[in-house]
């Protein structure tokens, strides 16, 4: 009889421990997701949004660098592309996604 009571108590304690472990597992998974979101995903989204705003603000005459490392001046702004003059009378058509503001241009703006 005494063994039966101890066995029932041990089973109840084991079931409670398993339920607690399951609950703490989900809490830890949620905490990990929150940490990833605030330290990795959100800053990257802010950076992408800032880069897109810079690209939208580019206008004729701005100095830019393409993703391929080509420096030039914007000659014309189109819907999804830029016409960039890289030498006298040499104009290339480049997708907006591969154009960055030139570091030289950023330095000139900071001086103003």
Give the model's pLDDT for residue 36.
87
Instruction: Indicate whether this model's pTM tops 0.85.
Output: no
Give the model's pLDDT for residue 103.
60
CATH tag, 59-112: 2.30.30
Domain boundaries, the chain: 1-57, 59-112
Tell me, what DSSP letter sits at residue 68? T
Residues 93, 81 contacting (CB under 8 angstroms)? yes
Mean pLDDT by runs of 10 across the 112 residues of the chain is 55 55 84 90 91 87 89 91 92 91 61 58
Give the model's pLDDT for residue 13.
53
User: Exposure of 111 by Cβ count < 10 A (0-12 exposed, 13-18 middle, 19+ buried)?
Assistant: exposed
Give the model's pLDDT for residue 24.
84
């Amino acid at each position: 009889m005494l063994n039966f009571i101890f066995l029932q108590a041990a089973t109840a304690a084991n079931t409670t421990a398993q339920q607690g472990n399951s609950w703490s597992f989900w809490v830890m998974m949620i905490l990990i997701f929150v940490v990833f979101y605030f330290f990795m995903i959100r800053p990257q989204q802010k950076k992408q949004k800032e880069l897109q705003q810079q690209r939208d603000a580019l206008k004729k005459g701005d100095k830019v660098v393409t993703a391929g490392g080509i420096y030039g001046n914007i000659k014309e702004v189109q819907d999804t592309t830029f016409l960039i003059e890289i030498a006298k009378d040499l104009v290339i058509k480049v997708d907006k996604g591969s154009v960055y503001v030139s570091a030289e241009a950023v330095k000139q703006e900071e001086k103003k």
